[in-house]
Amino acid sequence: MSFLNAATRYLFFAGKGGVGKTSIACAAAVTLADRGQRVLLVSTDPASNLDAVLGVPLSSHPTAIGVVPGLFALNIDPHVAAAAYRARLLSVYRGVVPAPEVATIEEKLAGACTMQIAAFDEFSRFLTEEDGAKDFTHILFDTAPTGHTLRLLQLPAAWTEFLERYTATALYTGPRLGLRAHQARYAAAVATLANAERTTLVLVTRPQPTALREAARTSVELASLGIHNQCLIVNGVFQTTLRDDAVAVAFEQRGQQALAAMPESLRLLPQTTVLLRGHNIVGIPALRELLAEQQRQALDMKTGAPVASLQVPPLADLIEELAALRHGLVMVMGKGGVGKTTIAAAIASELAGRGVPVHLTTTDPAAHLAMTLETALPGLKVSRIDPKAETETYRQRALTSAKSRVSAEEFAFIEEDLRSPCTEEIAVFLAFARIVASARQELVVMDTAPTGHTLLLLDATGAYHQDMVRKFGRKVVATPLMRLRDPAYTKILLVTLPEPTPVLEAAQLQADLRQAGIEPFAWVINASLAAAGTRDPVLVQRASAEREYIRIVQAQHAQRVVIVPWATEEPIGPERLRRLAQGG
């Protein structure tokens, strides 16, 4: 791990969900602390699982990891950050302006944009030596899946530019009340990110086409922000010694083919390879071993017997029930990297193949639907919520509506306000609301963004619902939240892998949904080696470990569970997707 031998002060670990960012970031933090450095590990993921990997309960303040002297960790909790941000801003106005005006300001601070501003406000403090950050030699950021991370890293530059260009009173309304006071900090954060002597972007990927493409996209987009000091870690590389094991050979070949087709921009980066482990990377001993000098584990392991068959229904059973629907919403949710896009595309492809008209869409900023489907399919309409396109459409509609009914001065005020980065959050939510409403007339299968990004979208849904209830009371007919709560209208599928972190995160997501009055319809355990059958010692070890988490899902979390075996062929294109859906 050459980037740790001359580690910069700031290290950002970024990549597609499920590639092992948290494990790699934690292992790097432990390595630096073991070398006598004082290290702070920060998660910017709204659905962080640092606690589970480190084995220590964390909060929004640095917590010492006792078994690793010098290592501290924390989670930036967007809800906690937003509450503190609101309280800080409102304290300036309480007792100074009339109570009704304070109430109006408080209402404007209730939206999802405030939560995002507050989170990036906390994030920027660590880049500018505030709140004790100067006490650490190195600060490592375990980031959320790509779409959310790009948004977080782009916000300092976006707000800095906005604050520099616009000065009208729009700046002093709603969630942007406190931004001007910290303009210098945000400008300093942008400079720090672009300083190659202080900041390194560590792109984490797996030997999978979508993960590699997303790493390349992240590399290019963050280079455009001035973050040029980058390196690449390819995690989970696998080699088998059993050439007669079809699953093991396919597992190896798919990885080799993906690496052979690696985007050229990634080939130019310094690279490190991390071998696939047979065990789950949880706890300090496993983290220390992950980045140690690597030995081929399988050489010291005996060939295993395939894991006994599982008593879990296939995905085809679930699709059979969905095929009876002619309208409604099927939302596919879960942690990044668990295969939500594949499952959503497989369900939609199989339904369309049966003659059921389907609208397949995604809320994921890093959408991979087109790459997964490859070609069009009769009866299948495909769309995506493109944040940039939705923002521009929303802005133009708002300006057209305002032009004929307000003064030139008021129009200038509105035009400036619509250039705020907050506008994107509003536009994306409205696009989401339109698609939810469209399920009254059609069957919509929605591939959602990774958990943290989706939770922020649901927060916006909840805030909108509360706003409508405040304004109209019992006259409210149907908000998006009301439709999501209706089990006859919406069926939510929680997708997970049979591994500790994905199962834990799916359980947390289910708890959050239930708190909002939304009950999941079923769990989908995806890409199970235990259901595929293999004799390779590393894969057998992983398959054996899966059984415990499959049992936990069945016994503790889900009333209904289906399982999808790991596929020997990459599930891309309508034919392979339908085979996956049918269990073949």
Query: In 429-489, at which residue ranges do the beta strands (DSSP E only) sit?
Result: 443-447
Which of 143, 192, 349, 501 is catalytic? The answer is 501
Catalytic (active site) residue 45: yes
302 is known as an active-site residue: no
Type of residue numbered 36? G
Active site includes 18? yes
Q: Which is the catalytic residue, given 15, 17, 18, 462? A: 18
Q: Which of 20, 147, 337, 339 is flagged as catalytic?
A: 20
Q: Would you give the end-to-end CA distance of the chain in angstroms?
A: 40
Q: Which is catalytic among the residues 31, 43, 45, 146?
A: 45
Q: At what angle do helices 340-353 and 315-322 cross, to 10 degrees?
A: 50
41 Cβ partners below 8 Å, 6+ apart? 25, 26, 29, 50, 71, 72, 73, 74, 140, 142
> How many whole angstroms separate alpha carbon 315 and alpha carbon 343?
9
Give the integer Cα–Cα distance in Å for 500 and 53: 9
CA angle at 307 for the pair 584 and 341, rounded to the nearest 5°: 45
Give ∠ CA 306-312-313 in degrees, rounded to 5: 125
Instruction: Please pick, among 15, 23, 448, 496, the residue that the annotation labels catalytic.
Output: 23
Identify the active-site residue in 15, 16, 22, 31.
22
Q: Running DSSP on this structure, what letter comes out for residue 314?
A: B
- Is residue 238 within 8 A of residue 252, CB to CB? The reply is yes
CB 549 within 8 A of CB 499: yes
Sign of the Cα pseudo-torsion (144, 148, 154, 155, in order): negative
Number of Cβ within a 10 Å radius of residue 559: 10
Q: Is 141 exposed, middle or buried (0-12, 13-18, 19+ CB in 10 A)?
A: buried
Is 393 among the residues known to form the active site?
A: no
8 A C-beta contact, residue 198 and residue 190: no
The verdict on whether 22 is a catalytic residue reads yes
CB of 340 closer than 8 Å to CB of 334? yes
As annotated, the active-site residues are 18, 20-23, 45, 501
